[in-house]
Structure 1
Amino acid sequence: MITTVIFDMNGVITDDEDLHELATQKTFEKVGLSITPDIYRQYCLGRTDASAFVDLIGNFHLKDQEVSSIINDKSILYQELIADNLKIYPGVIRLIENLCLKYTLALTTSSTFEEAQTVVNQLEIENLFKVIVSSNDVKRGKPDPEPYLLTAEKLGVSSDNCVVIEDSENGIRSAIAAGMKCIALPNTENRDKLTLAHCIVDDYSEITDELLQSL
């Protein structure tokens, strides 16, 4: 029986992948690397900045660059960008408010703790999530199962009782590797990248109690 619904944040709640991309581009411009859309999707989509930036620094031979410093610079810029530009997907807040009446909710994001706090505070939804797991909490980000396994551990629930709502291939792989059911939304990736999910929906209104219990 499904008792718990776990939301990804970027690309599921917040329509802000473009702002993450812009913040990443501007940050890496300062150290001499041009982040094209293809590079961003290959290295960053659905991953933690820590994992993505380590690979970018290594593969593009950016010498004498500290990952922690680049992450901090990018996070500060992202928070500045969303101050007046935060967009959310239509229907997602209503879905969260409806589901929290019957299910335990959690938020598991590849964003930093500071970025997640900025978003949930601005949307006034922090109290609807029993647990928030960010990139600061894990050593291995998505597609590794650690983020979702840690979320279940913090909630004290079995993976069998959890459904994850994701938008990226890396996020789906993480959820499934953790032994959870997964619903995907084609918000940031093409449907053919989401086929590992148990279900793909096009609208938040499709995520009903009947659907959750049928997975």
Structure 2
Amino acid sequence: MDSVEALVFDLDGVIADTAKFHYEAWKHLLEDLGFQIDPNESEQLKGVGRIQALETLLTNRGIDFPYSKKVELAERKNAYYVKLLSLVDEGFLLPGGMEFVSLAKERGYKTALATASKNAHIILNKTRICSYFDVIVDGTMVKRTKPDPEIFLLTAKRLKAKPEKCVVFEDAYAGIEGAKKAGMKCIGIGKPEVLSNADFVVDSLASAVKMFGNEHY
């Protein structure tokens, strides 16, 4: 990766095992409305804003609400999610994640977090990983959510790195799309058949650590 200056990481599902809490919170909200969630919907909800995720779930069920009602429901979902975050500690860090970030810093790469979450500060404080990143950009700092490239372009600006010199690690199709729109390379974390828009896919950062240990990587 001789031409790369910076590595940019998503948080939920890449660094921390908290994506499942989003799913549980949406499940709870749908049950409030008299519906069940389909596990296959989880990929549609990753990496996008609350309103967009809610609209996807409503559309899948052939229903709609006024925007004010959607805001109310999205806030209720967020309350469920924040309550679940009380369980988070350093044990929620995914295997290989911080080892990979540490190795990257040792090799002189700039590191950043670019997460759509507006609750990222809770996770970062509970897992005590803020110091590992040169720049942290979350959903409170941008107007548009992924797949819009805004969050990635802002991250590159704060890193003082050109977008084409950045590599993003994402577990969501929408996040990968946003990174590509920003002109960045993107490594998907998950299943190749789901993250077909990534430049390369690994199953976890633990696998990426092994590759990164190769001097030719």
Q: How many residues align?
A: 207
Find the counterpart in structure 2 of residue 82 from structure 1: 85
The letter of the residue matching 2:171 is D
Find the counterpart in structure 2 of residue 11 from structure 1: 13
TM-score by length of 1: 0.83
> What's the Cα RMSD here?
2.5
> Which residue of the other structure, out of 123, 126, 137, is the alignment partner of 2:127?
123
Structure 1 149/61 Cα, relative in aligned 2: closer, same or farther at 3 Å? same
Structure 2 stretches of 5 or more lacking a match? none
1:110 partnered with 2:116:
yes
The letter of the residue matching 1:116 is A
Separation (CA, whole Å) in 2 of partners of 1:64 and 1:152: 33
Q: Deviations over 1:12-37 (max 9, x none)?
A: 01122221101112134334544322
Q: Deviations over 1:42-73 (max 9, x none)?
A: 3x122121322244456621347434433332
Task: Judge conservation of contact 1:57–1:65 (CA < 8 Å) in 2.
Answer: no
Q: Deviations over 1:62-110 (max 9, x none)?
A: 3474344333322232222132255222111111222233221111112
> Which residue of the other structure, out of 26, 30, 33, is the alignment partner of 2:32?
30
Structure 1 62/77 Cα, relative in aligned 2: closer, same or farther at 3 Å? same
Structure 1 stretches of 5 or more lacking a match? none
Percent of residue pairs bearing the same amino acid type: 31
Separation (CA, whole Å) in 2 of partners of 1:36 and 1:62: 20
Find the counterpart in structure 2 of residue 93 from structure 1: 98
Separation (CA, whole Å) in 2 of partners of 1:162 and 1:64: 36
1:124-143 alignment runs, 5 A limit: 124-143=128-147
The letter of the residue matching 1:196 is N
